[in-house]
A and B are shown apart, each in its own frame.
Chain A
Amino acid sequence: MNDNKLLFNNAALEELSLNIGKLLNDDGSKLKLTPENADSGLAKLVLTLVELIRKLVEKQAMRRVDGGSLSDDEIERLGETLMKLEMKMEELKKYFNLTDRDLNINLGPLGNLM
Chain B
Amino acid sequence: MPNNVIDQSKDITILEVLDRVLNKGVILTGDIVISVADIDLVYLGVKLMLSSVETMEKLKSGQSLTENYPNN
Please say whether the chains A and B touch (CB closer than 8 A): yes
Q: What is the size, in residues, of chain B's interface with A at 8 Å between Cβ atoms?
A: 24
The answer to whether B53 touches A21, judged by C-beta atoms less than 8 angstroms apart, is: no
Residues of B within 8 A of A30 (CB): 40, 42, 53
The interface centre, meaning the residue of A13, A33, A105 with most chain B CB atoms within 10 A of its CB, is A13
Interface check B17, CB cutoff 8 A:
yes
Contact A27 B57 (CB under 8 A): yes
Give 1 or 0 for each of B9-28: 1 = CB within 8 Å of chain A CB.
11111111111000000000
Secondary structure of the B contact surface, majority rule: helix
Decide if A108 is an interface residue (CB 8 Å cutoff): yes
Name the A residues within 8 Å of B12 (CB-CB).
Answer: 6, 9, 13, 16-17, 20
Q: For the complex, what is the distance from the CA of A91 to the CA of B12, rounded to whole Å?
A: 38
Q: How far is the CB of A24 from chain B (nearest CB, A)?
A: 5
Closest CB of chain A to B62's CB: distance in Å?
Answer: 16
Interface residues of B (CB under 8 A from A): 5-6, 8-19, 40-43, 46, 51-53, 56-57
With CB as the reference atom, state the residue of chain B lying closest to A20: B15
- Chain B residues with CB under 8 Å of A49's CB are none
Q: Which residues of A contact B6 (CB under 8 A)?
A: 4
10 smallest A-B Cβ distances: which pairs?
Answer: A13-B8, A6-B9, A5-B13, A17-B11, A20-B15, A108-B42, A17-B8, A108-B43, A6-B12, A17-B12
